[in-house]
Structure 1
Amino acid sequence: MATPQQGPETRLQIRRTFAAPRKKVFEAWTQREKLEKWMCRDNPNNTPRYIEFNDVRPGSANLMEIRTADGSVYRQRVVFREVKVPEKLVFTWAWERFSASGQKEEQQEETLVTVEFHERGNSTEVVLTHEFFRDAKQRDQHSKGWNGCFDVLAEYLGSQAGERK
């Protein structure tokens, strides 16, 4: 992974509290059947599916394909670097976008995501840090995407929209 200059424009941090126990929230991130219920489902016109899903452990990789309404396809790949059940996940994150005809149109270089799970009584605070973006525009696009995913995760976990911070 190339390491661009690190600064506020290349780093994103989101804190969200979910009305669910930490074990349940962690499992929503690490079990395929649960992850497929919320990840990249913030746009009802998108159809995400995992085409490769491995055990969540350091070195394992997962590949998701997201088909959009216009026929474009995003391929998102994560490789786990650290897994500390049920406290922390660290993984690389990269994606490519293809046109409906299969032509590669765009690629995001590898970035790094750290997700921490903190018990807060009967709830769980998730702190997501996503870093090494190319620029502020890319960071802001991911902020919108992650917050949308977290909204769906909150619904999936049976809570309200989750408390944004």
Structure 2
Amino acid sequence: MEQSKTEEKEVLISHLFNAPRELVFKAWTDPKLLVNWYAPDGCTIEFKTLDASKNGEFHSCVHDPVHGDCWIKGTYEEVIFPEKLVFTMILTDEQGSSVEALAAGKPEDWPKETITTVTFEAIGEQTKLTLHQTIPEAQAKATGAYQSWIKMFNKLEGILG
């Protein structure tokens, strides 16, 4: 029997950072820190808006020299310093209007909205970060999104270390 989409394994990644969780959490909510690591290798990111508070919104663009610009907006559904972030991610255009996946350079069946949950667990002076994203892991790996998270975490580790 074939698995339905709701039963597919979703993206779940953990990373242990050699930094206190308050600092790791801040790196996810401070635009001055985010621009240094929150984009795949070879890409840059800019934030039109970023309000990392409950019900706050962000609108960002990853500039990819190969695949072009990818605009995303979202809303912070939970912000619990320094323990947890939950935010939506929707593909948009530069004006913030929702766009179809193909128009944003994603496969046609890419979800219109994903929810990303990031938890921060103190382990001594280190932080165990766990990221869950509501997209099938196989689809994220096929598009490079999964690998991009790993590379971005490695970039963040370099900045925090």
Structure 1 residue identity aligned to 2:73 = R
Please tell me whether residue 126 in structure 1 is matched to residue 122 in structure 2.
no
Matches within 5 A, 1:74-93: 74-93=70-89
Structure 2 residue identity aligned to 1:39 = Y
Matches within 5 A, 1:47-126: 47-54=44-51, 56-70=52-66, 72-96=68-92, 104-106=103-105, 108=110, 109-126=112-129
Match of 2:98 in 1: none
Shift of 1:52: 1.5
- Structure 2 residue ranges without an equivalent (≥5): 95-101
Aligned length: 146
- Structure 1 residue ranges without an equivalent (≥5): 159-165
Shift of 1:60: 1.1
Match of 1:162 in 2: none
Please tell me whether residue 156 in structure 1 is matched to residue 156 in structure 2.
no
Match of 2:138 in 1: 136
Measure the CA separation in 1 of the matches of 2:138 and 2:105: 17
Describe the superposition over 1:8-57 as per-residue Cα deviations: whole angstroms up to 9, x where unpaired: 34x111010000001100000011111111101x312x221111122x12
Maintained 8 Å contact 2:76/2:85? yes
Measure the CA separation in 2 of the matches of 1:50 and 1:127: 23
**Cα 1:22–1:110 shift into 2, 3 Å:** same
Structure 2 residue identity aligned to 1:138 = A
SS in structure 1 of the partner of residue 6 of structure 2: coil
Structure 2 residue identity aligned to 1:23 = E
Of all paired residues, the percent bearing the same amino acid is 25
Taking structure 1 as the reference length, the TM-score comes to 0.78
Measure the CA separation in 2 of the matches of 1:157 and 1:71: 29
Measure the CA separation in 1 of the matches of 2:105 and 2:75: 20
Match of 1:161 in 2: none
Match of 2:97 in 1: none
Measure the CA separation in 2 of the matches of 1:88 and 1:82: 7
